[in-house]
Amino acid sequence: MASTAEAMAIPVCRFIGVTGQRSASTARIIGRNPFEISGFRRRSELCSILTGDSCGISLNMSWTMLWQRACAWGFFLPSQAGPASDRERGESVKKTIQALILWMAIGSIAVARAKSDLEDPAATLADLVDRASEVKIETYSGEEHRQAAKSYRKLLEEVQAPDLAELEGDDAIDRDLLEAHLRKQLFELENLLLYQLSPVRYLVLSKTDSLFVRPCAQPDKVVAEARDELEKLPEILENARKNLTRPARTWTENAIYTCYYAEMMLEKMLPEVCIDDPELAEQLRAAGDVALAAVRDYATWLENDLLSRSDRSPAWDPEEVEFYQFAIEQLFDYGLEEMLRVAEEDEAKTLAEMEELAKRIHPSGDLVTVWNLMKEEAPPWSEVYPMAERYVALADEWLRGPGAHLVDIPREFDYGVQLTSPMGRRVLSFGGATYGPTLGGRISGYYVLTPLEKKLNEEEQLSRLKSYNPYWTHVISYHEWLGHNVQRAIAEAHASRPMRDLFWSSYLSQAWSFYLEKLLEDEGYYEDMLPHLEALKTRMARLQMRMWRIQRILTKLQMAKGEMTFDEAVEAYVEKIGMEPGNALIEVQRDSQSPSPPGREIIGERVILEMRAEYQRRMGEHYQIKAFHEALLRYGELPLPVVRQLMFGDY
């Protein structure tokens, strides 16, 4: 007959090891390591204290395994080997009692610790961040979008719980970022219904596209991800047909054009991609063939079906634009009307500067004449790439010499010039920036040049080439590689919190890159490195880049107010910037596809300059502009007001 202690323990063993039935709260405790929860670092020490030996406890046992081990020891079960002597029976009872004391001690501490974790607001927040990052939309089905919205809604309710309001410091900032992130996801899923309006978003080919940023550099893991992406694409495009309703015509036209690049990549470029594993290469190409057929079917459907019913306005409501400006970017002083006011003032000032500069560049003093002469200096396409490399090297040389006081280029950063990868060639009509792979602990990023495709006729190619004139190319080159890519390199060099990896602001990277354009001019880069007339023309190009960002605000917001049409916005880019018509169309088309605020550069630069002035005032004699730039960039893609909070500890 079993002892009382044994009889008490038998149900516990059966509960854990036989029935496996347990409540959700029990499972959360049992599934964890009880010694971790209780705080004991050496299980054998505790076991020795209570039982006189190490009990054979493994360092990697879970709670369930420990209970099962206790049962296996025979502490809790009567012997089946026959009658036992009184001495054996006594030893068994003694061990049973000792074991029960052991498990009760560990269990009580473990439960207390687990309960404490559940009640700790910081731990609750970390759990919410993890759960938010796990919400995925894999096949882009309508049901997936609805389920994602449901998950985000539940998370938003939990993050607004009263106990999380007690968080302070970094945790409080992360809580607010999580709430903003969840609001944005819900706004796009439930209010804007972007998945019903944007046909280009279904061409999910980013992993495949990354294989062409830096040929032969990607590891097999990324190639396998590209294969999986291609295998999933037919289902995604089938769901697009079910989801898309009545987008703007220009958005559908953009998707049709993007299909051209997707087909080119899958048919002509993918078979030649550099892959080490022959079996993986074969799998990738087979998946590419299936994806190619799906893309062609999708392009046909876009042209024959969706295009005819694409009658939505490409303009967004003012409230939709302001949602992003306020709820995400936290720029409460810059609503729609204030952004328009700032842009209109800047437009008048910049135009006056350009007109004055034109008098120093050409005897006619005519601004349009100067623009056209600058564009005529564009080299043939074969010379564009070496020209771009020369400008990257020139800025690099200056930043390591006279400009070394401005910013440190991270040592673990590879950069230069590459051709734009296929899926970026529609939106980056005359170049941009792209992130490359990280190899051997070294990240990479490039100023990319978009080639003149055969799809363009001769007139279109000549027009596109004018945007690669030396002066635009020079300014854009350091905006891209020194702006976007160095910003990313510095952010990745510093440890980040999971919430700050999850959050994405559209402002900081664009604001920083635009801020650099004038900063280098102000700090003497043009005068130090360029002949006089070339320096003047490069300054003109820099002012054209500024007017471009001013028109981005004016056109998008005037369209939102019903004061400008899409075609009038395109014409504004041509007349006020000197941009070629084809490129102007692509710029307005790209900016119109979401209600994200258009003040990233102009407003963002203003905020950065305000932060710099505050930093200089606070630092006094210890002020260094390079230190300010490092502080600005180290936090990643966060709203500028949040960066300010972190920089000054103002929270």
Q: Grade residue 651 by pLDDT with cuts at 50, 70 and 90.
A: confident
Predicted TM-score of the model (pTM) = 0.83
Distance CA(601)–CA(512), nearest Å, equals: 8
**Residue 106: what pLDDT?**
60
Which pLDDT tens digit goes with each residue over 91-115?
Answer: 665 666 666 666 566 665 555 555 5
> pLDDT per residue over 475-532, tens digit each?
999 999 999 999 988 988 886 799 999 999 989 999 999 999 999 999 999 999 999 9
> Which amino acid makes up residue 520?
L
Region 359-385 average pLDDT: 98
**Domain-by-domain residue ranges, the chain?**
4-119, 122-192, 199-309, 318-648
Average pLDDT estimate for 75-84: 44
- Could you tell me the CA-to-CA distances from 557 to 75, 171, 320, 349, 564 in Å, in that order? 76, 35, 11, 20, 9
- Ramachandran class of 562: left when φ > 0, alpha when ψ lies in -120 to 50, beta otherwise: left
pLDDT 10s digits, 341-358: 999 999 999 999 999 999
Bridge pairing between strands 432-435 and 443-449: antiparallel
Cα–Cα distance, 223 to 626 (Å, whole number) = 39
Strands of the sheet containing 443-449, edge to edge, are: 413-419, 443-449, 432-435
Q: What is the token pair recorded at 593?
A: 């596809």
> What's the pLDDT at 500?
92
What was the pLDDT predicted at 85? 60
Is 60's pLDDT higher than 70? no
**Residue 495 φ/ψ, nearest 5 degrees:** -60, 145
Q: How confident is the model at residue 454 (pLDDT cuts 50, 70, 90)?
A: confident
The tens digit of pLDDT for each residue in 299-311 reads 999 999 999 999 9
The mean-pLDDT minimum among 82-96, 372-386, 594-608, 629-643 falls in: 82-96
Burial (Cβ within 10 Å: 0-12, 13-18, ≥19) of residue 572: buried
Whether 299 and 258 have beta carbons less than 8 Å apart is answered as no
Find all residues with CB under 8 Å of 408, minimum gap 6, and list them: 626, 630
**Average pLDDT over every residue of 274-281:** 94
What length is written for the chain? 651
Is 75:99 a contact under the CB 8 Å cutoff?
A: yes
- The lowest-confidence range among 72-81, 515-524, 580-589 is 72-81
Tell me the C-alpha distance between 94 and 5, whole Å. Answer: 10
Alpha-carbon distance 645 to 112, whole Å? Answer: 36
Question: What pLDDT, on the 0 to 100 scale, is given for residue 96?
Answer: 60
Q: At 64, is the pLDDT very low, low, confident or very high (cuts 50, 70, 90)? A: very low
141 within 8 A of 234, measured Cβ to Cβ: no
Average pLDDT over residues 280-308: 98
| CB-based burial label for 116 (10 Å; 0-12, 13-18, 19+) | exposed
Alpha-helical runs (H) found in 523-560:
525-529, 532-560
pLDDT computed for residue 109 by the predictor:
56
Q: How far is 529 from 403, CA to CA, in rounded Å?
A: 11
Tell me the one-letter amino acid at 165: A
